Amino acid sequence: MSKVIVGFDFSKGSAYAVDFAIDVANRFQRDLCLVYVKEKDQDEGPIREEIERRNAGVAHLLKGIKMDYVIREGKVSRELCEQAKEDGAFLIVVGTHGMSGFEKNWIGRNTYRTIAEAPSPVLTIREDFNFHKSLDRIVVPIDNSPDTRQKLAAAANFAKAFGSELHILGLYTSENKSIRAIVDAYVNQVDKYLEKADVKHVVKFVDVPKNLTVTTLEYADEIDADLIVIMTEQESSLTSFLLGNYAQQMLTLSSRPVLSVRPEEVNKLR
């Protein structure tokens, strides 16, 4: 059974990520694996002792699943992705404060690289998110890009697992009738898919004055959303993958959890 991978480094952000990951793993009935990436000469003994102490403290929260851990050495993003590949990961969860000394409105290079290179969808969570609030409303932005609908399966499965309501946000980025017609068609397809899947949802269309990210976040604020689902819009370079502008802006600016799905990963969350 593929696992939920959690990046962990003893920071408050990563501890919150573990708590959220336990809830996700319980609902999807997936085992958990905590990944700690140590420095080259760092002693493993104290690390293992502290992780085992913490794991014992949350063992009562596990419902029919197991939680283990591994200690790896190297670059954080690379080691997280390698562990995800080895475990055939269902999902990677990372807290967006702690792994690189994050500041407000900056999630850090490790998180960007993890999302860009991960073989699985990545759920990012800021440490100031209200974890006592249930996952009631999930925003799924739909624009006129070819891959925009491919995140729907992941969003629908989260909605089913958490009993959430999906908010399908049709984004008009132009007054051009052809472009608006594409958005209309995509949202109509999404609406029919969710009706057939019996997933609670609402649909809204909005014009984008300047920026897709800002418009999406304003809507998320308006409905007090608990999760935003995006595609990573990856761009390839000669040496690596880079995140597209929309994904980078969303991850940087969103105070809410963001589920990032690469186009080729659409079947991972089924």
Residues in the chain: 270
Distance, in Å, from the CA atom of 51 to the CA atom of 56, rounded to the nearest integer, reads 9
Same domain, 254 and 145: yes
The secondary element (H helix, E strand) that includes residue 13 is helix 12-28
Looking at residue 267, its pLDDT comes to 44
Same domain, 39 and 19: yes
CATH number of the domain at 94, please.
Answer: 3.40.50.620
Amino acid, single-letter form, for residue 243 = L
Looking at residue 165, its pLDDT comes to 98
- On whether residue 72 sits in a domain, the answer given is yes
Cβ-contact 120, 268 below 8 angstroms: yes
Q: Which long-range contacts (CB under 8 A, 24 or more apart) does 145-150 make?
A: 145/231, 145/233, 147/231, 147/233, 147/263, 148/186, 148/231, 149/186, 149/189, 149/190, 150/231, 150/261, 150/263, 150/266
Same domain, 26 and 100: yes
The string of pLDDT tens digits covering residues 102-155 is 343 334 677 778 888 888 899 998 877 766 678 899 999 999 988 889 899 999
Same domain, 168 and 141: yes
Domain of residue 68 covers: 4-125
Give the chain's residues under pLDDT 70: 1, 97-108, 130-132, 233-244, 264-270
Same domain, 142 and 110: no
Distance, in Å, from the CA atom of 150 to the CA atom of 110, rounded to the nearest integer, reads 25
Amino acid, single-letter form, for residue 47 = I
Looking at residue 157, its pLDDT comes to 93
Same domain, 58 and 151: no
Same domain, 168 and 94: no
Residue with tokens 């403290």: 57
What's the domain count of the chain?
A: 2
Strand ranges inside the chain, DSSP E: 4-7, 32-38, 67-73, 91-95, 122-125, 137-142, 165-172, 201-207, 227-231, 235-236, 241-242, 258-261
The pTM of the full predicted model, rounded to 2 decimals, is 0.88
Distance, in Å, from the CA atom of 162 to the CA atom of 154, rounded to the nearest integer, reads 12
If DSSP codes are grouped into helix, strand and coil, which group holds residue 15?
helix
What one-character DSSP code corresponds to residue 37? E
What one-character DSSP code corresponds to residue 78? H
- Cα-based angle 40, 42, 44 (whole degrees, multiple of 5): 115
Same domain, 104 and 147: no
Same domain, 101 and 149: no
Q: Which long-range contacts (CB under 8 A, 24 or more apart) does 38-43 make?
A: 38/71, 38/72, 38/73, 39/73, 40/73
Looking at residue 117, its pLDDT comes to 85
Same domain, 77 and 143: no
Residue with tokens 């939920």: 4
Looking at residue 238, its pLDDT comes to 38
Looking at residue 24, its pLDDT comes to 94
